[in-house]
Amino acid sequence: MKATSTNPRVLLCTSYRRSRGDYLDFLGGATRGLPKLSSPCRLSPGLRFIKQNVPEVEILEYPLWHEYVAKLKEGWDIVGFSAYQRDIAEIESMAEEARRQGVDETWAGNFGVLDDKVPSMVDRTFVGPAEDSIARFFGHSVPDEDIEHPAMMVHVSLRPGNIRHFSAGLLYTQRGCPYKCTFCQTPAFDKRRFSINYESIERVLRYYRKIGIKYIFVMDEIFGADKRFTDSVTQLLSRYNFHWLAQSRASLFLHNLDEWYERGLRITLVGVESMSQKALESINKKQSVEEVAAFARRTAEKPGMFRFAYYLIGYEGMNAEETLRDAQLLNELGFDSSGVCVLTPYPQTPLWDRLEAEYGTFDPTYAHYNSKHLVWNNPHISAAEMQTLLTSVVNLLNNRAAIYAKIFTRLLWPGLSLSKPALLWRNLVKVPVSSYFINDRKQFFFPKLGADRPGSVSP
């Protein structure tokens, strides 16, 4: 890759926001109406990783349109965009504006580049981890084993009122996934599987601890795929006395549950997807309904553990009535909350190829590719009917009063019932108050391990 000047200026951006509160909400989308728990993601993990490892670039996360335009006026040789499928229309407008302002070259990365439209919008696309490719533009390299972890925090609050409960540190330990679910873009995007630099993981955990964070959200696609590395990471989480969240498969949770629980695992996210074995086979899930039931049973026995299930609706072999019966089977397992999505074909997945060939897609609106809309010709359910069905399933699986009761009885009460002043102080005073001193939008980056480097700030 050839630089456009001797000292190129590179700006990497996410899509712009249409309003001040326009952020993807990790928790707020699980239930309908208010009050609700909310955890908006106001930062870009991908861009934070690039900036941590390639300090020469500058990043701009979720700007309003006028903020983006003002930033362009500073003058850049290259402007790049981190895009999901749902962001493509916004990114197209941003790329056009960059060219109008005289930017020489445009880039794009993230899962959105798997869509055929994106390469026609920009000069270069990056599929998969981009740290090394971008570093080489500046004359150095970042091998996979040297990729360092940045600091990233999110808040968990109650809406309305934005009453903050706590802040969590985000943690990524590995990239890629060994499984081949037909709806998932990860095998097409993250073709290389590797672990994040261990020393940098410990450094960011020390930093989180220093600023008062007690909870870690492990954001791996599948936590535990590399047993040895995961064992080292969970020992770190235990050593620094964190409570943590992880996403994995039922089989991996079952195999490691007791050990991970002893080391601080308190919130589990598991991809149930369906209670129909036939539906699971149609998406190559490689998971049995019996494993899910065993997971629900064993985790129910763990004091202080909150269980979250991911669930898909809209299978071609199920009509609305069958979907509701399937959702009721999941409800009977007693999960504490569920994230309900509509089966959505994404580019370069086996599901995309099959549904396009057999049924066709009809919705050209990129914003609808957010797993909350029906965008293909389901043989049993129309797009309008799917919205009604989605609301019904969400209401069935996520009763707000029951969720808040379970948060108290499962997450908080086991500790509070011990009546230890230290626990009461930590959970009811220290953690919520310290959260108000943490700015999730502030960009912070560490010095390079072993040596200082340009653009770094010491903790």
Residue 457 CA to residue 448 CA, distance in Å, equals 10
What's the average model confidence in pLDDT over 414-419? 57
Let me know whether 38 and 120 are in one domain: yes
Let me know whether 92 and 199 are in one domain: no
What's the average model confidence in pLDDT over 338-343? 96
Residue 3 CA to residue 287 CA, distance in Å, equals 47
Let me know whether 110 and 238 are in one domain: no
Domain stops at, among 79, 114, 142: 142
CATH label of the domain that carries residue 178:
3.20.20.70
What's the average model confidence in pLDDT over 345-359? 96
Q: What is the pLDDT of the chain when averaged over all its residues? A: 91
Domain stops at, among 98, 119, 142: 142
pLDDT confidence of residue 3: 46
Structural domain contains residue 426: no
- State the pTM of this model: 0.92
Structural domain contains residue 445: no
Domain count, the chain: 2
Question: Can you name the residues that pair with 243 across neighbouring β-strands?
Answer: 215
pLDDT confidence of residue 157: 85
Structural domain contains residue 285: yes
Edge-to-edge, what's the strand order for the sheet holding 36-38?
A: 36-38, 153-159, 163-171, 215-218, 243-248, 265-273, 306-313, 337-342
Rounded to 5 degrees, φ, ψ at 132 are: -70, -40
Let me know whether 127 and 200 are in one domain: no
Structural domain contains residue 256: yes
Let me know whether 204 and 133 are in one domain: no
pLDDT digits (tens, 9 = 90+) for 257-282: 999 999 999 999 999 999 999 999 99
Structural domain contains residue 447: no
Let me know whether 134 and 176 are in one domain: no
Structural domain contains residue 443: no
pLDDT confidence of residue 390: 97
Domain stops at, among 142, 174, 204: 142
Lowest mean pLDDT among 51-55, 159-163, 373-377: 159-163
- Residue 162 belongs to what H/E stretch? none
pLDDT digits (tens, 9 = 90+) for 46-85: 999 999 999 999 999 999 999 999 999 999 999 999 999 9
Let me know whether 101 and 164 are in one domain: no
| Residues 188, 114 contacting (CB under 8 angstroms) | yes
Structural domain contains residue 434: no
* Among 69, 246, 93, residue whose Cα is nearest residue 171: 246
Lowest mean pLDDT among 3-7, 318-322, 393-397, 430-434: 3-7
Structural domain including 95 reads 10-142
* Cβ contacts of 40 within 8 Å, gap of 6 or more: 21, 23, 24, 25, 26, 28, 154, 155
Let me know whether 163 and 26 are in one domain: no
- Residue 314 belongs to what H/E stretch? none
pLDDT confidence of residue 401: 73
CATH label of the domain that carries residue 19:
3.40.50.280
Let me know whether 62 and 193 are in one domain: no
Let me know whether 289 and 353 are in one domain: yes
Let me know whether 132 and 164 are in one domain: no
| Burial of 339 from C-beta contacts in 10 A (0-12 / 13-18 / 19+) | buried
Structural domain contains residue 450: no
Query: Is 80 exceeded by the pLDDT of residue 411?
Result: no
Residue 348 CA to residue 183 CA, distance in Å, equals 10
Query: Is 70 exceeded by the pLDDT of residue 409?
Result: no
Let me know whether 265 and 380 are in one domain: yes
pLDDT confidence of residue 454: 42
